[in-house]
Amino acid sequence: MRKCFSRIGWTLALGSTLASGLVWAAIDLGDFDEYVMRDMDDANKDLGPALGAGNYEAALADAEALKLGLDWTEDYFLRKGGTDDAVTLAREGKASLASVFAAISARDLAVASEAARAVNKNCSSCHDLYKSLK
């Protein structure tokens, strides 16, 4: 009986994976600018440590680089179509960045750091959906 449920589970998982692969196969990301993502990744990796060190100037530069990248990403996926989740994630990332900017202006490291973690999590969520498609 357990073996039967195991086979059913694996069959459903495989079917789901294949079905989602067919949907994703229709999205061509060949024109995606990987340099934008690299710049965002570098800024994202540096933002937390810059805040931790109290280096507001570096943190602000990182947040600005992330905003530029998220603006580009939102526009790219809007034009691409059929990628509403990516557009939503870009917008959510920009909302978290607005909190980073406000907290930096207020010199509130705790709030800025929390918002920076939300940006990082947001980026990871989008990568989970789209990075493997490249």
- Distance in angstroms (rounded) separating the CA atoms of residues 33 and 88: 19
| Domain around 119 | 31-133
Residue 25: count of CB within 10 angstroms of its CB: 9
CB contact burial 106-117 (16+ within 10 A = b; e otherwise): eeebebbbebbe
Regarding whether 52 and 6 lie in a shared domain, the answer is no
Regarding whether 74 and 95 lie in a shared domain, the answer is yes
Per-residue pLDDT of the chain (134 residues; tens, 9 = 90+): 545 444 444 444 444 444 444 344 467 778 888 899 999 999 999 999 999 999 999 999 999 999 999 999 999 999 988 899 999 999 999 999 999 999 999 999 999 999 999 999 999 998 888 876 65
Regarding whether 101 and 77 lie in a shared domain, the answer is yes
pTM score over 0.85: no
Regarding whether 13 and 68 lie in a shared domain, the answer is no
